[in-house]
Amino acid sequence: MSSQAAAGEIRRSPLGPYRLRGASATRLEAFSDAVFGFSATLLVVSLEVPQTYAELVANLYGFAAFGLSFLALVFIWLAHRGFFRRYGLSDPWVTFLNMVLLFVVLFFVYPLKFLSMAFVEQIFQVPSRTPAGDPVNRFTAEAQVSELFLIYGLGFAAVFLCIALLYRRALVRRAALELTDLEVYDARSIFWHYMLLVLMALVSVVLTLAGVGQHLGGIAGWIYGLLGPVMTLFWTIRARRRERLERSLAG
Total of domains in the chain: 1
pLDDT tens for 130-147 read: 555 555 666 666 677 778
pTM equals 0.83
Question: Averaged over 109-122, what is the pLDDT?
Answer: 82
Task: Dump pLDDT digits (tens) for 34-56.
Answer: 999 999 888 876 556 667 776 67
Q: What residues make up the domain containing 187? A: 3-250
Average pLDDT taken over every residue of the chain: 82
pLDDT at 26 over 90: no
> Contact, 221 vs 203, CB < 8 A?
no
Q: Quick one: pLDDT at residue 1?
A: 37
Quickly count: other Cβ atoms within 10 Å of residue 56's Cβ. 12
Q: CA triplet 165, 188, 162: central angle to 5 degrees? A: 15
State pLDDT tens for residues 191-240: 999 999 999 999 988 888 887 655 555 677 778 888 899 999 999 999 99
pLDDT of residue 222: 77
For residue 111, what pLDDT is reported?
Answer: 87
In the chain, the percentage of residues whose pLDDT exceeds 70 is 76
Q: Is the pLDDT of residue 160 over 50?
A: yes
